[in-house]
Every structure is written in C-alpha cells, then in structure tokens.
Chains A and B, each alone.
Chain A
Amino acid sequence: MNRFALIVIAILTVALAGCADKQTSDETTKQFVIGMSQCNLGEPWRVQMNKDLKEAAAKHPEIKMIFKDAQNNTTTQQSQVKELVDQRVDLIIISPKEALPLTKPVADAMDAGIAVIVLDRRIEGNKYTCFIGGDNELIGEEAGRYMVELLDGKGNIVELKGLMTSTPAVERHNGFMKGIEGSQIKIIYSVDCHWLEPDARREMASALTRFPGAGDIDAVYAHNDPSAHGGYTAAKLEGKGRENAIKFVGIDALPHEGVAYVRDGILTATFQYPTGGSEAIETALKILNGEEVEKDIILGTRVFTADNVADGGQAL
C-alpha cells in the first residue's frame, strides 16, 4: 500500500512539474483573452466592426477573442458583460446598445479589475478605461464642405435623412448644415428615410416628381449609403437618365456597400464612419502591456471618390 501511494505521489509530482514547466514557458509570450460585447449583429456596419476586430486580433497571436452578440437586446447585453467578467477575461470591448443601462455592468467590470474599452456609443459617467468612436457631426460637416466644392457653392439638394429620433442622424444633419453654411446651396426636399433603402427609394421618387425638370435637383445627400443607393435607383427607374446628372453622396463607406457603389460610379462620394475595430485592438494591447492611453479617442473620417477609391480613400 505504501508503495502504491508513493507511485501515485511520484506521478502527480511529475505531472505538476510538467504543468508548472509549461506555465513558465508561457510567461515569455503572455496570452490575453479579450471579450467583445456587440449590441446587434443584425446591422452590416456592426458585422464589419466585428470583422475588423477579428482581423486586427489575428495579427497578434497572443490575443484570443471571445465574441458575444446581444441581438439588439439591452438585458442580454447586460448579462453578457457579466458573463465576460465571470470568465475573468483580461479586457472587455463593448459597443453598448444604450448608455444608461450598461453603465453599471461596465463599472462592475472595472471594479473587478478588468479594463473596458467602450466602442462607438458612449456610456454615462467616466468609469471606463477608454472610449473610441467616430464623430458624426464632423463627418456631416465634411460632407457639407465637400458638397459646396462639388457644386461650386450653388445648387438644389435633396436630403435623405436617417431615423431622426436617433442621434447619428441628427448629428449628420446638423454637421451638414454647418458645412454648407454661407453657400448658396438650398435643401429643397428633406425627408426621414429611417436608414432604410426602400423608404429612401420611395421618397426620392416623390422628390423627383415634385421637381421634374432636368436641372431641378443637383445633388442628393443621404445619411447612409443604402439610402444614397435607393435615391440613385429611384432616379434610374424614373427613366429620364437623371441618375447620371444628379450627384449622390452617402456616409458609412462599408467595403461592399458605399465603397463598391463609388467604384461602380453610382455614388460620387462616400464618407467613412470608422468602426474603430483595429484601433480598439491596438489600444487594448497598450492597456494590457501597462501603457497609458488617452481617455477619449475620436477617429477621423476618410472620403472615397472615383479618383481615390483604388487607393483606399483619402483621410480627412
């Protein structure tokens, strides 16, 4: 019996030593687990965000990603953040559905000693490690300035707005108005298209009937690329060839949407609303390696036009 116990102890010792050995060899390339809480993967832009995160993380073998999709449900996202905390991940990236309900789960994660990067939408207060996001008002303003240049400071515009009860649409509108300030550009028809292409198509058709002359509409400013595309389709279906004369400008610049539309000559320009995916991974690495990072990182935009689309757009 004694001998048997001895053998067991010997085996265990060897096994444990093996484990310990493995741990020390890992010390040199430390493994990090990053949990990502996405609020809704039903939107193409958010699918792109996850894709950007995945691609950026793939460049760093020491990072392991865990993705969670809250399917546009605030309570689901709350519990998913908690799951990530319970799993003891090293860092959490969250793109919250709503600010207030997710403020506490993020604070709890911080209390548990986990760094949190808030992506795209903000939370209340300042109990997070770092915020990364685009600036819709700035993008709208850039689009406005671009429009002034495109039309030589004078012309009639149709604005196909996003859902005007959502902040991005309001900011993209306000920014644009600031951008065209002082020019002789007039918005002759402005309508809420709820971010949806079919709605934009229908409303644009009405705008075209209201202003039926060849030079009545000079350009269309749409709050997202699908709406701009819907506007173009309506002009094309009208059958007067006006889709070639009217300039269509959109926002978002996803690779297979806006950028492809610019490449196909459908849109004159699209302004990128950055997902922040790659920036989030770079910032996460800095935090995990103990470096200081800025509290608020505001991302710039890029414009894609026929001239620069082959080179990946131009930073503004």
Chain B
Amino acid sequence: MVSNIYHRFGGILDIAGRYRGVLAFIVVFALGAFFTPKLPGSNLSVFLTWSTQRDTLLYYAEYGILAAGMTLVILTAGIDLSVGAVLGFAATMFSLLMVGYGWHALPAALVTILAASAMGAISGFVIARFRMQPFVATLGMMLVARGAAKWICAGQKVQPGAQPWFKMQTGKPEFFDWMTTPAKGVGLQPVVLLFLLTIILLWVVVKYTRFGRHLYAIGGNEEATRLSGVSVGRVKIGAYMLCAMTAGLAGLCNASLNTLGDPEAGFTYELDAIAAVVIGGSSLAGGKGGMFFTLLGAMIIAYINKILSLNNFEEPAKLMIRGALIIVAVLIQQTLEAVEKRRVK
C-alpha cells in the first residue's frame, strides 16, 4: 500500500516523510484550531488564544522536562520507570527543606537535584555493572524513590503548618510564586523557561558532544560500541543520571505549581514521558530520535489533553479519544517513516 501511495505522490511524501514529526504536530494543532469552541462574542477559536497556549506550556512543562531526560535513556535502548517517583521525591524534599527547615531556595534546589541525580546514578550503575534489565532496575528505583518521598515527610503533604516543628507555619515560600509568575520582559514563567532551556541544553548534548554520539551508538549496537573502545557503562550511568536530574528539575516545577510538596506527585508521569518521546518519533528500540522530536511529542500530548479539556468532554469519551489520538499520531509517523526509508534507498 505504501508503495502505491509512493508512486502517485512521491514528491510530496518525500517532504512529508522527512518532516513527519512536524506534520503530526501540525495535524494536532489544526484539530485544536477547528475543534474547540469559539471565544464568546468572537470568531476566534479558544485554542488559538495566547492564554491557552501559555497555559498549555505552563501545565505540561513538567512532562516535557521529564520527556527530555527520558529521551537520553531511550536512545540507549533503555527505559526509566522511576522518573515519576523521583519527581515526587524531589518535590517533597525541596518543599521540606524550604518549609520545614527554612532553607533558601537555591541551596534547597541544589541539594534536591543532587539527591535526585544520585538516584539515577544508582539505577545506571546497577544496569551497567550487573547488566540488569533497565525495566527491572528502574522499577525497583521507582518503589524506593516513592517510599523515600513518603518517609521524609511522614506520609503527609509538606506545606506550612503541616507539622508543629516546621520553620514555616503560615504563608508559602516566595520561590513558588516566582517560578509561576511571568518573568519581566519575557512574558513566560520560569517553569516554562526551564522546560525550554532543558530541551535546548540536552539538544546540544545529544547532537554535538561525544557523549551524545555514544548514546546513539549504544542504542544502535551496544556490543559493537563496546568493542570499539567506548566505556558503555559510564555512558549509561551518565544517561540515567541526567534523566533523574531532569526528574529533579520537574519536581521543583511540580512543587512550585502545587505550592506544596506532595509525596504522591508524579504518579504514572513516567508513562506520559515515554509516550511523548515515542510520539515524537524516537524509537523504543534505541539509536533513533532526538531532542527536537521529543519537544514535538511533548507538545502533541499537551495539545491533545488541552483540546479535550477545552471541549469539556465527559470522562469516558476523553479517555477513549486521548488513546485513539495517540495511536493515530504514532501511526502517521510510522507510515511516513516507511515512505522515507524507501526514498533513502
């Protein structure tokens, strides 16, 4: 079927194949433009307003940050199931340091991100040193991190006054407001800027560093990479560490949006992160994909959720449409990828 289509529309499909991620993104964007209600008293679709676009970025930034880190791991043909739990741990620890112990935001953020990175480094070490399946190793870390999150806060959300010994008994840390208030002269919140910055930084890492090239090499053929003298173990540990580090960053965003540290935060977020990476066009088999794809994937998921929310569908319809749209998005990608392969040949 693909070859038939190819014969008739070869030229167009060539372009479509090369920019398949962008195409899927445009399709979802068009869905939003046409299938959301109009603003009262105007012909403009609600989806196209600046406030919708800004909200979408703000509320899905944490998923985007997680997905950026997840991309590194998936490039090596690995997977990290612990990111949601690490996010919850980071959000709880960050709030606890500020609200409970009265720390300033900066040292609290640094210590939190270090702790989160350490969790990733441990997963990476177990995977690299003992050749454990990433699925199993990070599943274990998921439970450990979730347990740690609940342990440090004695099972209760961290907010002013929650425990009698907390330094902060009323109000809330100023840092939370700062993170979610548009920065002067930019018009975007630090949470959103952090998301975009993470994507750009990791894009540079993946595309222009030796570490980045090694990620692709391991995902393509691990044994060959090892034989060519690359320290596969170290690269893997680095990938899982960076992935957990982004989970830590996402945790800071989560705490800021919630204005509290919730030990249950990030539950099942790992699935959204993985979905974003795959929808963007990176392959779960490793070695294929990139950070720009993940940005598209994250935005596609965010837009799908936003469109469903703006239309205020009933819950069952929402779930089914969301699932169907995700499958369609990946289907578009795969069909066009097959076309592109023919073109290259």
Which of A's residues lie within 8 Å of B, judged by CB?
41-42, 44, 47, 164, 189-192, 197-198, 201-203, 205-213, 216, 229, 233, 237-239, 256-257, 260, 263-264
Contact = CB atoms under 8 A, between A and B. Distances in A.
Interface size band for B: 35 or more
Interface of chain B: mostly helix, strand, loop or mixed? loop
Contacts of B258: 197-198, 233
Contacts of B155: 41-42, 47
Contacts of B49: 209, 212
Given A233-B259, A264-B170, A256 B159 contact: yes
Nearest to A194: B315
Contacts of B150: 42
B209 to A, nearest CB: 34
A257 B162 CA distance: 8
B100 to A, nearest CB: 13
Given A44-B157, A212-B39, A205 B59 contact: yes
Interface string B247-275: 00000001001110010110000000000
Contacts of A47: 155-156
B257 A201 contact: yes
B46 A237 contact: no
7 contacts: A42-B264, A44-B156, A202-B55, A202-B59, A209-B46, A211-B40, A256-B157
Interface string B130-141: 000000000000
Contacts of A238: 51, 55
Nearest to B269: A198
B312 A237 contact: no
A233 B257 contact: yes
A136 B150 CA distance: 28
Interface stretch (B105-113, B286-294, B302-310, B328-336): B302-310
B283 interface: no
Interface centre among B180, B182, B257, B264 (most CB of A within 10 A): B257
A189 B305 contact: no
Contacts of A208: 51
B14 to A, nearest CB: 38
A202 B157 contact: no
B309 A206 contact: yes
B67 interface: no
Interface of B: 37, 39-40, 46, 49, 51-52, 55, 58-59, 150, 155-157, 159-162, 170-171, 180, 182, 189, 254, 257-259, 262, 264-265, 305-306, 309-310, 312, 315
Contacts of A201: 59, 257
A201 B264 CA distance: 16
B55 A205 contact: yes
A85 B267 CA distance: 35
A197 B40 CA distance: 28
B299 to A, nearest CB: 15
Contacts of A212: 39-40, 49, 51
B264 A237 contact: no
Contacts of A44: 156-157
Nearest to B39: A212
B58 A237 contact: yes
Given A233-B257, A237-B189, 13 more contacts: A42-B150, A42-B155, A189-B312, A198-B59, A202-B309, A205-B55, A205-B59, A206-B55, A206-B306, A206-B309, A209-B310, A210-B310, A233-B258
Contacts of A229: 259
Nearest to A208: B51
A189 to B, nearest CB: 6
The 6 closest A-B pairs by CB, nearest first: A206-B309, A192-B315, A205-B55, A256-B162, A202-B59, A206-B310
Nearest to B182: A239
